[in-house]
Amino acid sequence: MKPSSTDVRPLILIAEDDPDSVFYFTMVLRRNYDIESVDSVNAALKAMRKKKPDLILLDLSLEGKKDGLDLVRQMRKTPEWKAIPVIAATAHAFERDRLNCMQAGCNGYLPKPIKMKHLIETVQSFLPS
Q: What is the pLDDT of residues 52-73, one digit of tens each?
A: 999 999 999 999 899 999 999 9
CB atoms within 10 A of CB 39: 18
CATH number of the domain to which 36 belongs:
3.40.50.2300
Cβ contacts of 49 within 8 Å, gap of 6 or more = none
8 Å CB contact between 122 and 57: no
Residue 1 within any structural domain of the chain: no
In the chain, where does DSSP find H-type helix? 19-29, 41-50, 68-77, 95-104, 116-126
pLDDT computed for residue 3 by the predictor? 47
Taking only the tens place, the pLDDT of each residue in 72-102 is 999 999 999 999 999 999 998 899 999 999 9
Instruction: Check residue 60 and report its DSSP letter.
Output: S
The answer to whether the peptide bond before residue 113 is cis (omega within 30 degrees of 0) is yes
| Number of structural domains in the chain | 1
Q: Does the structure show a pLDDT above 60 at 119?
A: yes
- pTM of the model as a whole: 0.91
